Amino acid sequence: MKILIKCIRNLLGCIIMSIDLVTRGSKLKRTQEKQAQVNKELENLSLYQHFACPFCTKTRRAMHKLNLPIQMRSVTQGSAFRAELLEGGGKVTVPCLRIEENGKVNWMYESSDIISYLEKRFS
């Protein structure tokens, strides 16, 4: 039964990803210098996510729209990133944005909160 649920979840994830890829809009346009500055700021961010998660897809879609190539870390079973998320953030829930600023690390959960943060900081 567990395998069947996992297969259904992965199938739905593939369908969601396919629809997302087909319906994505264009990226936010920036000057080359401005994009380089944004990319530099993004070095302190990483998104812990799972391929088949609809909330992760929502977050990745917003990142695409805002032209934010944030490092993505898959938290599949047995992944070192999964252990890192559990240790640092306290729970294995995705999506989770790891924000490193001024020597401090903050873990932001909830896709809507992550998207709001990214829009305020980078639009």
CATH code for the domain in which residue 70 is found: 3.40.30.10
CA-wise closest residue to 122 among 56, 38, 58, 48: 38
Q: How confident is the model at residue 109, as a pLDDT?
A: 97
pTM of the prediction?
0.85
Q: How confident is the model at residue 39, as a pLDDT?
A: 95
- Give the number of domains in the chain: 1
Tell me which residue range forms the domain holding 31: 2-122
The rounded average pLDDT for each run of 10 residues, N- to C-terminus, in the chain (123 residues) is: 80 79 83 94 96 90 96 92 95 97 95 98 91
HEC profile of the chain: CHHHHHHHHHHHHHHHHHHHHHHCCCCCCCCHHHHHHHHHHHCCEEEEECCCCHHHHHHHHHHHHCCCCCEEEECCCCCHHHHHHHHHHCCCCCCEEEEEECCEEEEEECHHHHHHHHHHHHC
